[in-house]
């Protein structure tokens, strides 16, 4: 009898248990449970945003924390991109201050929230991000507008509920509101809005799928928000470009004035064609002074000059050239004597063949050493290495300042670095 009662009890409880397990399985997917944004619009045009993002983490995508992506540009009434400033105030998780870092990703700023060394346990976490932003208000001829993507469209998972509370400056009337849900650019309006004096509340009517978001718009009479002056607008939209231009000008002037002072070549005299090197300068030395190196061409020129001076004879024999020693003349220059002593140690002819490359290479090397010893390039060329070093240091400092002040992305930064050097 007891066994029968036990079986009956198990049969009665099994649908409940199975239903709870099924329901738990459905709700255990990673998601944003609630996304609420509280926004205060100041008459100066600054907006203060506090976002509360409650998530359920399983460790699949939300492992150490979340990544919040916020646009840093908006499109104005003429379709042009306008720069937006984002200044993070605080970031917390479950009421405690949380680690975060920011990175530029194209036209967005990504806020990586969480400790990179700590993995989250299965459960619910509420992240709160407080930040300020300027440049968000659109100014039109007869009205002003606040157009805001509340959630962003970069989330990898569902948002069960999204909402936004917007506090406008006091005594605002004739408010017009609208909201949109779905993928970027969607005109679907699965959302509602409610106005109370100078407050507007928006909320989604259904969950948002991955890569879907909530966008709201509030328009109100013009001149309630202070309109920035043209110079202020120009500076806000162009300060990064102006900074880059200023850095380029500073480095450019530094190198230009030092070039004018130290590196400017003297005026060239009238060119008179000659058929011989200047007195005391051999063809090899002339090439060395002109190119600051000798190389194979310097050795070739020296050998031809030695043949002209009848110290050697150059003979073409059966598809190869042969160097035949005649006499170590006194009229040979120092470098030419070095070549003679290297190639003709045993007074034997030498063919220009691969098997003799070691001796020819040694002659070339000895020629280079002799030229360096007898012709000091510092007497003819001024290097000014200190100025180059100071210019490089100045460039690095300006690049670092530009990166820090304007949070330049690595792609833009690399382009700027290439232009600067």
Strand 162-167 relative to strand 31-41, pairing? parallel
Q: Which of 30-39, 83-92, 241-250 has the lowest mean pLDDT?
A: 241-250
Work out the average pLDDT over 184-207: 93
156 φ, ψ (degrees, to nearest 5): -85, -5
Q: What is the pLDDT of residue 8?
A: 38
Tell me phi and psi for residue 7, to 5 degrees: -60, -40
Q: Is the dihedral of CA 234, 236, 237, 240 positive or negative?
A: positive
* pLDDT for the residue 35: 97
Higher pLDDT, 241 or 75: 75
Q: Give the pLDDT band of residue 362 (cuts 50, 70, 90).
A: very high
Give dist(CA 65, CA 57) in Å, integer: 9
Give the separation between CA 61 and CA 73, rounded to whole angstroms. Answer: 27
Set out the domains of the chain in order of their start, with CATH numbers: 30-228 (2.60.40.1730), 231-264+384-420 (no CATH), 293-379 (no CATH)
Q: Is the pLDDT of residue 352 over 60?
A: yes
Of the listed ranges 256-270, 344-358, 388-402, the one predicted with least confidence: 256-270
pLDDT band at 17 (very low <50, low <70, confident <90, very high): very low
**φ, ψ of residue 117 in degrees (nearest 5):** -100, -5
> 231 pLDDT band (50/70/90 cuts)?
low
Nearest to 177 by CA among 159, 168, 162, 169: 168
DSSP reduced 3-state for 109: strand
The tens digit of pLDDT for each residue in 110-130 reads 999 999 899 999 999 999 999
* 325: Cα separation from own chain's centroid: 63
Say yes or no to pLDDT of 382 above 70.
no
Residues 239-251 pLDDT 10s: 666 667 777 777 7
Tokens 């105030």 correspond to 89
The confidence score (pLDDT) of residue 402 equals 64
> Within 13 Å and on the Cβ side, how many CA atoms surround 329?
15
**Residue 105 half-sphere exposure, CB side, CA atoms within 13 Å?**
14
Q: Is 334's pLDDT higher than 60?
A: yes
Confidence of residue 167 (pLDDT cuts 50, 70, 90): very high
Percent of the chain with pLDDT over 70: 80
Q: How far apart are CA 389 and CA 401, in angstroms?
A: 19
Which contacts (CB < 8 Å, 24+ apart) does range 369-378 have? 370/334, 370/335, 370/338, 371/284, 371/285, 371/288, 371/294, 371/298, 371/335, 374/285, 374/334, 374/335, 375/285, 375/288, 375/289, 377/289, 377/292
pLDDT at 252: 75
- Residue range 193-199: mean pLDDT, rounded: 89
**CB distance 367 to 335 below 8 Å:** yes
- Is residue 24 very low, low, confident or very high in pLDDT (cuts 50, 70, 90)? very low
- Mean pLDDT across the chain, nearest whole number? 82
Q: Tell whether the model's pLDDT for residue 218 goes beyond 70.
A: yes
Cα gap 171→166, rounded to integer Å: 14
**Residue 108 token pair:** 């967005």
* Biggest CA pair distance of the chain: 132
Lowest model confidence (mean pLDDT) among 155-164, 268-277, 365-374: 268-277
* Span of 210-219, 241-250, 342-351 with lowest mean pLDDT: 241-250
């Amino acid at each position: 009898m007891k066994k029968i009662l036990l079986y009956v009890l198990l049969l009665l409880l099994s649908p409940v248990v199975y239903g709870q397990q099924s329901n738990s399985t459905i709700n255990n997917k990673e998601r944003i449970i609630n996304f609420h944004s509280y926004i205060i619009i100041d008459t100066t045009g600054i907006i203060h945003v506090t976002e509360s993002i409650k998530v359920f983490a399983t460790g699949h995508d939300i492992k150490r924390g979340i990544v919040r992506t916020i646009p840093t540009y908006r499109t104005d009434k003429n379709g042009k991109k306008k720069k937006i400033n984002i200044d993070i105030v605080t970031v917390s998780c479950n009421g405690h201050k949380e680690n975060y870092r920011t990175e530029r990703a194209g036209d967005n700023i990504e806020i990586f929230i969480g400790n990179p060394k700590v993995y989250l346990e299965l459960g619910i976490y509420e992240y709160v991000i407080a930040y300020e932003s300027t440049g968000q208000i659109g100014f039109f001829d007869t009205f002003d507008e606040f157009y805001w993507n509340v959630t962003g469209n970069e989330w990898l998972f569902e948002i069960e509920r999204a909402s936004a509370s917007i506090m406008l400056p006091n005594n605002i009337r004739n408010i017009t509101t609208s909201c949109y849900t779905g993928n970027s650019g969607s005109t679907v309006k699965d959302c509602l809005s409610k106005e109370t004096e100078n407050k507007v509340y928006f909320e989604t009517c259904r969950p948002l799928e991955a890569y879907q978001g909530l966008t709201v718009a509030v328009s109100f009479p013009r001149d309630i928000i202070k309109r920035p002056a043209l110079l202020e607008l120009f500076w806000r939209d162009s300060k990064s470009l102006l900074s880059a231009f200023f850095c380029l000008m500073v480095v450019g002037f530094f190198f230009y004035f030092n070039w004018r002072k130290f590196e400017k070549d003297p005026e060239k005299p009238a060119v008179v064609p000659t058929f011989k090197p200047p007195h005391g300068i051999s063809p090899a030395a002339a090439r060395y002074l002109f190119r600051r190196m000798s190389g194979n061409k310097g050795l070739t020129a020296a050998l031809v000059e030695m043949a002209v001076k009848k110290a050697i004879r150059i003979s073409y024999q059966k598809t190869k050239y042969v160097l035949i020693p005649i006499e170590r003349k006194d009229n040979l220059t120092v470098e030419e004597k070095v070549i003679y002593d290297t190639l003709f140690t045993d007074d034997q002819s030498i063919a220009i063949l691969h098997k003799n490359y070691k001796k020819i290479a040694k002659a070339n090397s000895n020629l280079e050493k002799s030229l360096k010893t007898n012709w000091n390039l510092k007497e003819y060329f001024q290097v000014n290495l200190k100025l180059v070093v100071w210019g490089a240091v100045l460039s690095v400092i300006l690049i670092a300042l530009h990166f820090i002040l304007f949070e330049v992305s690595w792609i833009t930064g690399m382009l700027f670095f290439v232009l600067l050097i």
